[in-house]
């Protein structure tokens, strides 16, 4: 266990904070991380093999060796040695013992989110080899630099102002921005970072206001050469040719200086000087999408392209900001040239120029073209760092029978689950691959890496197998118009949703596979849709249930039934079936069309109790309305008068009947006799005559 713990502590050190995770300026790679001269061997539990010169990495609880490291014989390749070892019956697996290097990290807050050019140019990978050197001097001939800027003050070397013939230089915005692109400090917790943050910057101001005389620039070039500049950055220019200017450029080049200049910002094809002079690297500008910037000049003199649109860098008075132009693209190339010089000091200026051209990412038409030149600058390739990016891998699910993605064309792609190789495959001519694998469990960690024809092995892409299978359709119990919840079963811990049309009426979690969603009562006939969604966002097919009608009809209203009646009439729920019973004997039934019913019956005896109830289409039964059969001669009239109580209804209006009764509202009256439209009625102990229109 001691060995295993020590290995873990080393891995933790590698992933620690910035103070531990980077090394010094000089070459950090003794050899490529994919090169190795050792292998790791996993022995079987009952192994009896003894491996000479092996080093134990881990042991089991009984002290038996489980993992051992063994050096590859000098006369044998790693692959061949692995093949030989895998044939041994005591060996479970063998893999290369790759070297792990410190990976440079930084804490500059705007590096990742504002300085996109570092990602485009793969600067961070270049920094694993060098961040530049104080022995490399980049002269920035411009409008001056803020030499006290926190990002630049430690990099400044021998500043000079040719206009004032003084070592005091102005803090020009343009020059400060350019200088920051080349050499802003790294890992200081401020702003961003320069391309070559360990290089020295020689500020030379040649401007008086917005313009500079060619003679001032020429003087600046000669001074830069005299003071030992390795690289001259000229983010300036014009369309007028000057033989004196050209002579100064050629003289500097003959003395071994790399000269880099802006191609111009008018989007025209016209010679721009000094960029168009021989032996000057003419730099065009590109966008974050590797398209040519809409302002960038073009033509046969363009040598190379670099990011120049919306570049974040230093400004005077400790500030930062964005600028665009071939002026910003030029210091990108100067910075990479400084990295090359720091990494390989013996290279001359022509060799550095060719390295820049040959390592650029070719854009546009194949080969050198009048828009991108040799292509967009690439710091990692310029430093000859072999690097195969981890493959891009599409999502892998528990139903997947292949791993798909892209990598370098023609590469061999390997898919592993832990130490077990699931399968290998080959990327096609455009880099697409499809490696067949057996189905894997949800949560399994797969590693996918590729190996190109040159033997370069990529970093592994770690992929977690996702849940890709949708939950089963939920089982839903019947829902009625009286229901205040929807219950049923669904996938354990899935979220269950209920909708009435487009409106969500409730949701819950199917803990232990059962659910109960609280809802408001729904109308009969409404269709409720229930779906389940698992933790991976997979959605089940929907289950539709129709709300059953469980609401009983209202009690029917029944008109008085006389002993001579052959029908029972009244009102009930529309289209309900209405039944009439005398005790257990069904007298008849009818449908309440439009809410009214008429049931044919045989004549019933006076005093017979008749029960009438309604049954709707869903078989819900109302409470019964019971009425007694009355004598036709003395039919009971249940009156509810429309008149106000104790008001004379027809006082003195009849010649036949001199006494007219005042009936209080709501009194039950009994029919006694009638004379035409007049009825003799009795209520309580009183009798009198009432005109028929006043009775219901």
Cα–Cα distance for residue pair 535/55, rounded to 1 Å: 45
Q: Is 380 helix (H, G, I), strand (E, B) or coil?
A: helix
Q: Which residues contact 38 (CB under 8 A, 6 or more apart)?
A: 69, 70, 71, 72, 96, 97
Q: Of 142, 143, 146, 534, which one is the catalytic site residue?
A: 142
Q: Are 532 and 600 in contact (CB under 8 A)?
A: no
Q: Of 286, 327, 334, 450, which one is the catalytic site residue?
A: 327
Exposed, middle or buried: residue 37 (CB in 10 Å: 0-12, 13-18, 19+)?
A: middle
What is the DSSP code (8-state) at residue 693?
Answer: G
In three-state form (DSSP H/G/I as H, E/B as E, the rest C), the secondary structure along 391-437 is CEECCCECCCCEEEEECCCCCEEEEEECCEEEEEEECCCCCEEEEEC
Short-list 557, 595, 556, 558, CA closest to 575: 595
Exposed, middle or buried: residue 23 (CB in 10 Å: 0-12, 13-18, 19+)?
A: middle
Cα–Cα distance for residue pair 651/688, rounded to 1 Å: 12
453-456 contact pairs (CB < 8 A, 24+): 453/410, 453/411, 454/386, 455/34, 456/32, 456/34, 456/386, 456/387, 456/388
- Classify strands 527-533 and 596-600 as parallel, antiparallel or unpaired: unpaired
Cα–Cα distance for residue pair 467/492, rounded to 1 Å: 14
CB atoms within 10 A of CB 219: 19
What is the DSSP code (8-state) at residue 649?
Answer: S
467 is catalytic: no
What token pair was written down for 27?
């070459």
Q: Are 661 and 593 in contact (CB under 8 A)?
A: no
Q: Are 686 and 661 in contact (CB under 8 A)?
A: yes
Angle subtended at Cα 121 by Cα 119 and Cα 123, rounded to the nearest 5 degrees: 75
594 is catalytic: no
261-270 b/e (C-beta count within 10 Å ≥ 16 → b): bbbbbeeeee
Exposed, middle or buried: residue 636 (CB in 10 Å: 0-12, 13-18, 19+)?
A: middle
Q: Are 425 and 460 in contact (CB under 8 A)?
A: no
Alpha carbon dihedral 187, 190, 192, 198, in 10-degree steps, equals -40
142 is catalytic: yes
What token pair was written down for 10?
């080393």
Cα–Cα distance for residue pair 214/212, rounded to 1 Å: 6
End-to-end C-alpha distance for the chain, whole angstroms: 102
For residue 179, report the phi and psi dihedrals to the nearest 5 degrees: -60, -40
Q: Of 174, 177, 253, 374, which one is the catalytic site residue?
A: 174
Q: Which residues contact 584 (CB under 8 A, 6 or more apart)?
A: none
Q: Where are the alpha helices (DSSP H) in 109-213?
A: 111-114, 116-121, 123-127, 173-183
Strand partners, 577: 591, 615
Cα–Cα distance for residue pair 301/46, rounded to 1 Å: 71
The residues annotated with a catalytic role in the active site are 142, 174, 327
């Amino acid at each position: 266990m001691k060995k295993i713990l020590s290995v873990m502590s080393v891995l933790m050190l590698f992933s620690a904070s910035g103070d531990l995770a980077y090394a010094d300026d000089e070459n950090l790679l003794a050899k490529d991380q994919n090169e190795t001269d050792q292998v790791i061997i996993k022995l079987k539990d009952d192994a009896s093999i003894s491996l000479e010169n092996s080093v134990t990495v881990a042991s089991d609880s009984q002290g038996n060796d489980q993992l051992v490291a063994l050096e590859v014989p000098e006369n044998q390749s790693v692959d061949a040695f692995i093949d030989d070892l895998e044939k041994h019956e005591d060996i479970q697996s063998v893999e290369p013992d790759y070297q792990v290097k410190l990976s440079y990290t930084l804490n500059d807050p705007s590096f990742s989110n504002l300085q996109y050019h570092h990602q485009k140019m793969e600067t961070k990978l270049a920094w694993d080899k060098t961040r530049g050197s104080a022995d490399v001097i980049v002269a920035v001939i411009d409008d001056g630099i803020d030499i006290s800027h926190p990002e630049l003050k430690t990099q400044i070397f021998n500043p000079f102002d040719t206009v004032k013939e003084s070592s005091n230089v102005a803090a020009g915005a343009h020059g400060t921005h350019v200088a920051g692109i080349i050499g802003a400090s790294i890992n200081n917790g401020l702003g961003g970072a320069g391309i070559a943050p360990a290089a020295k910057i020689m500020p030379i101001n040649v401007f008086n206001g917005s313009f500079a005389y060619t003679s001032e620039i020429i003087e600046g070039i000669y001074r830069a050469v005299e003071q030992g500049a390795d690289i001259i950055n000229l983010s300036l220019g014009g369309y007028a040719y000057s033989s004196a200017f050209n002579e100064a450029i050629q003289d500097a080049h003959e003395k071994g200086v790399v000269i880099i200049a802006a191609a111009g910002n008018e989007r025209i094809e016209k010679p721009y000087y000094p960029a168009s002079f021989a032996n000057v690297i003419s730099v065009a500008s590109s966008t974050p999408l590797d398209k040519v910037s809409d302002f960038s000049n073009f033509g046969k003199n363009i040598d190379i392209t670099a990011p120049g649109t919306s570049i974040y860098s230093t400004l005077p008075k400790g500030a930062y900001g964005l600028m665009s132009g071939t002026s910003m693209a030029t210091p990108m190339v100067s910075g990479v040239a400084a990295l090359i010089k720091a990494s390989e000091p013996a290279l001359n200026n022509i060799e550095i120029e060719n390295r820049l051209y040959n390592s650029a990412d070719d854009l546009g038409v194949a080969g050198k073209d009048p828009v991108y030149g040799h292509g967009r600058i690439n710091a990692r390739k310029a430093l000859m760092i072999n690097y195969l990016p981890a493959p891009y891998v599409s999502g892998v699910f528990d139903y997947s029978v292949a791993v798909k993605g892209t990598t370098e064309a023609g590469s061999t792609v390997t898919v592993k689950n832990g130490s077990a190789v699931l399968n290998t495959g080959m990327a096609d001519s455009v880099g697409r691959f499809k490696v067949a694998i057996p189905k894997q469990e949800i949560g399994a960690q797969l590693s996918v890496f590729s190996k190109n024809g040159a033997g370069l092995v990529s970093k592994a892409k770690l992929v977690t197998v996702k849940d890709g299978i949708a939950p089963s359709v939920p089982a839903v119990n019947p829902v009625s118009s009286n229901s205040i919840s929807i219950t049923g079963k669904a996938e354990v811990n899935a979220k269950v949703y209920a909708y009435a049309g487009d409106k969500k009426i409730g949701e819950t979690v199917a803990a232990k596979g059962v659910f109960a969603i609280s809802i408001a009562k729904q109308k009969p006939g409404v269709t409720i849709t229930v779906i389940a969604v698992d933790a991976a966002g997979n959605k089940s097919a929907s289950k539709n249930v129709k709300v059953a009608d469980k609401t009983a009809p209202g009690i029917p209203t029944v008109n008085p039934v006389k002993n001579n009646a052959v029908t029972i009439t009244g009102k009930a729920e529309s289209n309900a079936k209405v039944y009439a019973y005398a005790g257990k004997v069904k007298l008849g039934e009818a449908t309440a069309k439009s809410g009214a019913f008429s049931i044919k019956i045989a004549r019933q005896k006076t005093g017979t109790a008749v029960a009438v109830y309604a049954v709707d289409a869903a078989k819900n039964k109302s409470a019964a309305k019971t009425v007694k059969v009355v004598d036709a001669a003395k039919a009971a009239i249940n009156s509810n008068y429309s008149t106000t109580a104790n008001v004379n209804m027809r006082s003195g209006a009849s010649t036949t009947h001199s006494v007219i009764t005042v009936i209080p509202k709501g009194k039950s009256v009994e029919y006694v006799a009638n004379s035409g439209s007049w009825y003799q009625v009795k209520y309580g102990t009183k009798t009198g005559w009432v005109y028929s229109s006043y009775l219901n």
